[in-house]
Structure formats: structure tokens, C-alpha cells
Amino acid sequence: MRFSHAAVLYFLLLMPALIVFYAGVFRKKRRLLASFCGPALMQKLTASVSPEKQRLKAALVIISLFFLIVAAAGPQIGTRMVDVKRRGVDIMIAVDCSLSMQAEDMKPNRMTQAKRKLSDFIDALNGDRVGIIAFSGSAFLQCPLTLDYNAARMFLDLIDTNLIPYPGTAIGEAIRVGIKNFSREERKYKAMVLLTDGEDHGSGPLSAADEARKEGVKIYTVGIGSPSGEPIPVYDEKGSLAGYKKDRNGETVMSNLDEETLQKIALKTDGKYYRATSGEMDVASIYNEISKMDKKELQSRLASQYEDRFQYFLFIGIVLFVAEIMIDETRKEKSDA
């Protein structure tokens, strides 16, 4: 036997206190009667009351309460096999981990903010498969499509701006890696969440978006950063700020959010563009949009399910409680022969 609400069983600890309470009440009644009248008068006053029935009524209340508490705890006895089905869509998350994601126009920086948002996004999933792509100057599959959200979070935690040694930002390649790892047999049930500052270095993101549209992939782009630009900090081996990234002419490189490109990618695939904020609204909005898509069966398996048996304990508890009410405390008068 197991209990679905086992914490309720702690109320059983009150049972000894209830027994002590009833014993004290009966003892106090006898003591009070003895203090007001003698044995002969007390016997005459209590002649119509049955102490045995009083004790029986008290016992019925205590036992009834026991069964009601057990019923409330949700006893489950035995199991049955049920067919568990999960329906959803395939969602590929592409995360920009280029050096520009170290920019601090979103605190503490773009990379940390992006990972927080994607972790919140994974928390919101319900029956959907999720995969993760990391990209900078090249792109690779970090986590294949899975229903194991804990594994997806673990792979997400491993992503940082040092993960890929190739500099630059290849948004187009990230989209193509996503297309490759979706099922090619279907033209729906597929979505991609692309989180980046939008700066691309010749990877053809718009042509990749056209390829995605042909494969039935909807792309939801999330722009992280500021259009006005932000310098890219550079850290030494000890993690201390060593300065800011410079170009060949010694000028400080400013990383700008390219919203226009991200909007065009989303528009080409019937997706939507979102500007990342410090709150969770953009993450919730994206999943609300994805949840409206057609869903497919992603998993079907037999699972054992415990059988609820609270009704038997509830029935016994009610019967005992009603029996306590029905019992008359008075003695039956003996008829003269």
C-alpha cells in the first residue's frame, strides 16, 4: 500500500491525544458527581445512563476518525497498466555562443541571460521534444531531440563563449544543422528557437530560412542585446577584465543587435521575432505560439498506475460515525415479569 497524500497521515498522531481527552472527560465527570452527592444518590442519578455505551460511542468516534484520516491520505492498493501517450512538436533551440555574447548590455551579460531564458523555456515544455544547437563561426548539434528535459538542461549548462573555437557568427549554418536533425518525412510539427544578437558573418541566414520554410520549420527569433551597440569585453586567464575587443585598426568593436535580419528570418518561416527582455514574458509568448501548432504523438508506452482505494476507508469511517450517532446512551429499562 502507498499513499498519494502521505503527509495527511501525520494527523494520526492526534489519536492518542483524543483517547486521553475522552478518558479525562469520563474521569472528571465521575469526580464531579462524587463531590456533589453520596454513592447512593450518584447511583440513582446515573441509573438511566450506560457507561458502557458512552465508552462505545467514544471508541466509535476515535476509530471513525482514524479511517477518515487514512481515506484523506489517498491509500492506493494494487496497480493496473495504462497506455501513456505524449503529444507535442519537435523544437530545436539554437544558441549563439560567439564572443559578442559576452557584451554586457544585458546583465550580467548576453550569454548568461540567454541561458536563463532558455532554461525557463525548457521548464515550460509539456510533451514536446527539444534539441540544442550551439553556434558561433560554425554550428554543431549539442543535444539531439529528446523528451528528457533534465538532459537538455545539462547540455545547456555546458554552453559558453569558449565552447566553439571558430570565431564569428554563422546563423545560416545553425539553421541548416537544425533542418538536418529534424525528421525529413514531415512538413510540420517542427519549430526552431533562434537566440542571438543577429550579427551574421556571411553564412546566408535568409537563404537558410527559405530552406527551413520548405521543410515546414517555423523559426522564432529572439534578439538579445541593444541596437545601439555595446563593446565586447575580453578577459584574461584569471577571469579579470583585460580590455575590449579591437579591430585591425585598433578601434573598439561594437556589437549591435541586428533586428532586421532576425525579423526577416522569422517572417520567411511564418514565425515571430521577439526582443529579449529582463523578464520572462518573451519566453512565455514563444511557447504560447508553439503550443498552437499541430502536434504529433511523440511517445506511447505502457505504465503501471496505482489504484485508488480511499473510498473503502471513507465508507467505513462514515458508517462508524453514523453508528455513533444512532447509539442511545440510556439504559434499557427491565420490564417486570
Residues 6 or more apart whose Cβ sits within 8 Å of residue 290: 89, 91, 128, 191, 218, 220
Integer Cα distance of 318 and 61 in angstroms? 10
Residue with cell 467505513: 316
Specify the pTM. Answer: 0.64
For 8, which DSSP code?
G
The yes-or-no verdict on residue 82 having pLDDT over 80 is no
The yes-or-no verdict on residue 84 having pLDDT over 60 is no
> Is 85-299 CATH 3.30.499.10?
no
The yes-or-no verdict on residue 186 having pLDDT over 90 is no
Integer Cα distance of 61 and 138 in angstroms? 74
Contact 265, 221 (CB under 8 A): yes
Tell me if residue 198 falls in helix, strand or coil. coil
The helix (H) or strand (E) run that includes residue 175 is helix 171-181
Segments making up each domain of the chain, as ranges: 2-74+309-326, 85-299
The pLDDT of residue 243 is 87
Distances in Å between the Cα of 66 and the Cα atoms of 11, 75, 325 are 9, 13, 17
Residue 48's pLDDT band, with cuts at 50, 70 and 90, is low
Closest by CA position to 181, among listed 170, 191, 166:
191
Contact 223, 276 (CB under 8 A): yes
Dump pLDDT digits (tens) for 285-302: 888 899 888 877 665 454
Long-range contacts of 145-152 (CB under 8 A, 24+ apart): 145/90, 145/92, 145/181, 145/182, 147/86, 147/298, 147/299, 149/122, 149/123, 149/125, 152/122
The pLDDT of residue 126 is 84
| Sign (positive or negative) of CA dihedral 303, 306, 307, 311 | negative
What residue ranges in the chain does DSSP mark as E strands? 2-3, 75-88, 90-96, 129-135, 139-146, 190-196, 217-223, 230-231, 233-235, 241-244, 254-255, 273-275, 296-308
Residues 6 or more apart whose Cβ sits within 8 Å of residue 45: 33, 37
Helix 51-72 crosses helix 15-36 at what angle (to 10 degrees)? 160
Residue 335's pLDDT band, with cuts at 50, 70 and 90, is very low
The pLDDT of 204-211, averaged and rounded, is 96
